[in-house]
Amino acid sequence: MNTMGSLASAVRQNPWTSAFDATLLGIAMVVSLLLALEYEIVVFWDQLTERQRRIRIEEIFLLSVLLAIGLGVFASRRMKEAQSDREREMRAAYEAEAARALAMQDALTGLPNRRALEAAVERAIVQPPVEGRMHAFYLLDLNGFKRVNDEHGHAVGDAVLQGVAKRFRAAARQEDLVARLGGDEFAVLACDLGDRASALAIGERFVSALGNEIAAGGRTHPVGVSVGVALYPQDGGTAEAVMHQADLAMYKVKAGKRSGVQLSEAA
């Protein structure tokens, strides 16, 4: 039943080649029948003798074999076409998924990019934490990175960013999303935290992650980070509001020309 269904589906998906093969099969059977009857094309049926109209058992067997072969070839071609269609669909789906993954990934660090982060924050807003708990959004801006680019070039700067990304990923919880927004800006989304102290402690981990200099280009480079933290739902009811509050908090740290963590004061 499944085989017949698959064959019927393959015929529907490839109507032109199916019609072509069916036509060839029909022609082959007609020609075989005419030969079995010793029929000449220019002679009509009523001009045949009774003996010429009679098909022998050997000819019936031969016609049956030819029909079986023709049907077998027809079915085989249809099933191969169906398999080829499935492989094309799977390949297209894989390529589309790979393209979507690349579109959500930062090429330099391999971290999720701004688009992926914004989508994750939107999902977190749609699925708020249980009462008494919170989501935390962190905006991280590196300190001293411009000097690395200016003094040692962008290749070394890129290596430093890759080192920073690895340290931030190691400092975050396994379930947290760490993203690179672009340039020397990173962000983190940590969901389902118990209180403000827990959110602050995670932020301190990112500061500590850059406590040691980063090796790149044959030397080490001192890089710090200013971290602004906003909480949902305390600091805003939308993704835009929460991210804005984290940005304001981060600039308060940045103004002090030091590395550190600042919780939003919007609540």
Give me the catalytic one of 21, 106, 184, 235: 184
184 counts as catalytic: yes
Half-sphere exposure of 208 (CA within 13 A, CB side): 9
Residue 206 burial by Cβ neighbours in a 10 Å radius (0-12, 13-18, 19+): buried
The answer on pLDDT for 133 being more than 70 is yes
As a whole number, the mean pLDDT across the chain is 81
Confidence of residue 203 (pLDDT cuts 50, 70, 90): very high
The answer on pLDDT for 149 being more than 50 is yes
Q: What is the spatial distance between Cα 138 and Cα 8, in angstroms, rounded to a whole number?
A: 56
Mean pLDDT across 131-149: 92
**Cβ-contact 230, 136 below 8 angstroms:** yes
Q: How many beta carbons lie within 10 A of that of residue 79, not counting itself?
A: 14
- Domains of the chain with CATH codes: 2-103 (no CATH), 114-263 (3.30.70.270)
Amino acid identity of residue 65, one-letter, is V
User: Whole-model pTM?
Assistant: 0.65
Q: What is the CA radius of gyration of the chain?
A: 36
57-106 pLDDT tens trace:
665 666 677 777 777 776 777 777 777 777 777 776 666 665 565 567 89
The answer on pLDDT for 175 being more than 70 is yes
**Least trusted range by pLDDT, from 175-184, 195-204, 253-262:** 253-262
**Cβ-contact 227, 207 below 8 angstroms:** yes
212-243 pLDDT tens trace:
999 998 999 999 999 999 999 989 888 899 99
Q: What is the spatial distance between Cα 166 and Cα 178, in angstroms, rounded to a whole number?
A: 10
Please indicate whether residue 182 or residue 129 has the higher confidence score (pLDDT). 182
Taking the C-alpha atoms of 240, 263, 195 and 233 in order, what is their torsion angle to the nearest 10 degrees? Answer: -20
**Cβ-contact 168, 224 below 8 angstroms:** no
Q: Nearest CA to 242 among 115, 141, 136, 140?
A: 136
Residue 43 burial by Cβ neighbours in a 10 Å radius (0-12, 13-18, 19+): exposed
90-99 pLDDT tens trace:
776 666 665 5
The answer on pLDDT for 43 being more than 70 is no
Confidence of residue 132 (pLDDT cuts 50, 70, 90): confident
